[in-house]
Amino acid sequence: MFFVSLPTFAITEANSINKGATLSLEDCVNLAITNSPNVRKYRNKLRATKSKVSQAKSDFFPTITAGTNFGLDSLSTGDYSSTEGLYNASATLNWLIFNFGKSKAKIDMQKFYVISGQNDLDNIILQTIFKVRTNYYAVLAAKAYVNVQKDYVNINERQYQRTKAYFEEGLKSKIDLVNSEVYLSEAKIALINAQNNYDNSIISLNNSMYVVDAPDYNIKNTETFNLKNHLIPVTLKDINTKEVYTVPKTPEKSVFTTSVEKSDILDTFVFNPFPYNFEQSVAYAKEHRPDLKALSATEKAMEKSLLYAKREYYPALTAQAGYKYNNSTQNYYTNGLNAGAYLNLPVINAANTKFKIDQAKAELDVAKDSVEMAEKDIYFEVQKAYIDMKKLEKQIPLQYVKVRQALENFELADGRYEVGLGDFIELQDAKVNYNKAQREYVKIVFDYNVARAKLELTISMLPEEIKVTEEKNKVNGNKK
Question: Where do the domains of the chain lie?
Answer: 22-78+98-316+351-479
CATH number belonging to domain 22-78+98-316+351-479: 1.20.1600.10
CA distance 368 to 295: 8
Neighbours of 428 (CB within 10 A): 19
Query: According to the model, what pLDDT value does residue 13 have?
Result: 44
Which runs of E-coded beta strand occur in 188-231? Answer: 218-219
CA distance 199 to 139: 9
| Contact between 278 and 382 (Cβ < 8 Å) | yes
Digit-coded pLDDT (tens) for 285-340: 999 999 999 999 999 999 999 998 888 888 888 888 888 888 776 666 778 888 88
| Percent of residues, the chain, with pLDDT higher than 70 | 80
CA distance 450 to 138: 9
Written as one string, the DSSP assignment of 118-171 is: HHHHHHHHHHHHHHHHHHHHHHHHHHHHHHHHHHHHHHHHHHHHHHHHHHHTTS
Query: According to the model, what pLDDT value does residue 233 have?
Result: 36
CA distance 267 to 479: 45
**Helix, strand or coil, per DSSP, at residue 376:** helix
Query: According to the model, what pLDDT value does residue 230 have?
Result: 37
Each residue's pLDDT expressed in tens, for the chain with a length of 480 residues? 344 444 444 544 446 788 888 898 899 999 999 999 999 999 999 999 999 998 888 888 888 888 888 777 666 666 666 667 788 888 888 888 888 888 888 899 999 999 999 999 999 999 999 999 999 999 999 988 888 888 888 888 888 888 888 788 787 788 888 888 898 899 999 999 999 999 999 999 999 999 988 888 888 888 777 765 433 333 333 333 333 333 333 333 323 333 343 333 333 434 567 888 999 999 999 999 999 999 999 999 999 999 988 888 888 888 888 888 887 766 667 788 888 888 887 777 778 888 888 999 999 999 999 999 999 999 999 999 999 999 988 888 888 888 888 888 888 888 887 777 777 888 888 888 988 888 888 898 899 989 999 999 999 887 655 544 333 444 454 444
Dihedral over Cα of 260, 265, 271, 275: its sign: positive
